[in-house]
Amino acid sequence: MASKDRKQVEIVERGDIFFLYRPRVGETDPESLSDVQRFFVVLRPEHATKVRLLVVGRKRLPDAHEHERHWGFVGAIASSAAALEKDLREEIYDTKTRGRQRLPAARPAGEGRYLVCRAAQWTIASQLRARASRAAIRGTTRLQHRTAGKLRLSVKNPEKPSPPGLGLGQAQETDYPDRLQQEFRGRRFARDDIKLLDVQGAEFVLVGARTDPEKAYNVDLDVEKEDERHSEMLRELKMAKSRHPIEPLFSGEWA
């Protein structure tokens, strides 16, 4: 029989999770989060034909001990992880007031495994749990992310208003098909169907929760120590050294 702290869970999705950050325009040597423009999380589910690129607010994951809440949205849906790579490359563009601008390529910061599960008798039914294997996302490094943890995930109803100062503009909000829109049942948030994240522009809230999900739920996230040659991220996202500085993935430092 499971102990009180080990809930029986239904795993609805598992796969690879990748973390990346993009420095601000013109920033070649970032030293803190203030030098970062965006923080990305890529979810690549097993046996699926869609890969999600999530954009997480405040440029880091929410702290589990503080139960922080961070807003985010689905930036892109692709048929494969490699198909996302072109959206993560360096961009050079011209402006009328500041001339030519350079937006650096996204840089890999961590990778690991994740589960999305439904736990019986929980008020919040679905959780996104990630264990990252790279030093760059440990809580003691500059990126301020944790090696293991659980995040409660809720998807926002686009027909309901966002809190002041949060959320995408009306032109960027998603328009769910009727079948998925019905999942909200008139509520501001839904937590029952992971397919709500399979639409570009879907907005969500992540809440930091338990810090050791493997122990609590007796699940194995199958994280292995890897080097450059065996990195799932570099292989799946086709991230060439010539386009994306990969040092943060292994050193845990800014690059």
pTM of the entire predicted model: 0.85
Residue 35: burial class (beta carbons within 10 Å; 0-12, 13-18, 19+)? middle
* Predicted local distance difference test score (pLDDT) of residue 234: 85
* Predicted local distance difference test score (pLDDT) of residue 138: 39
Q: Is 215 helix (H, G, I), strand (E, B) or coil?
A: helix
* Predicted local distance difference test score (pLDDT) of residue 134: 44
Which parts of the chain are beta strand (E)?
9-23, 36-45, 51-56, 69-78, 91-95, 99-103, 107-119, 126-132, 148-156, 189-190, 203-208
* Predicted local distance difference test score (pLDDT) of residue 172: 82
pLDDT along the chain (255 residues), means of 10: 55 86 92 89 91 92 82 95 94 93 92 75 46 42 49 90 83 88 92 88 87 64 57 85 82 67
* Predicted local distance difference test score (pLDDT) of residue 141: 36
Annotated domain spans of the chain: 9-251
* Predicted local distance difference test score (pLDDT) of residue 218: 65
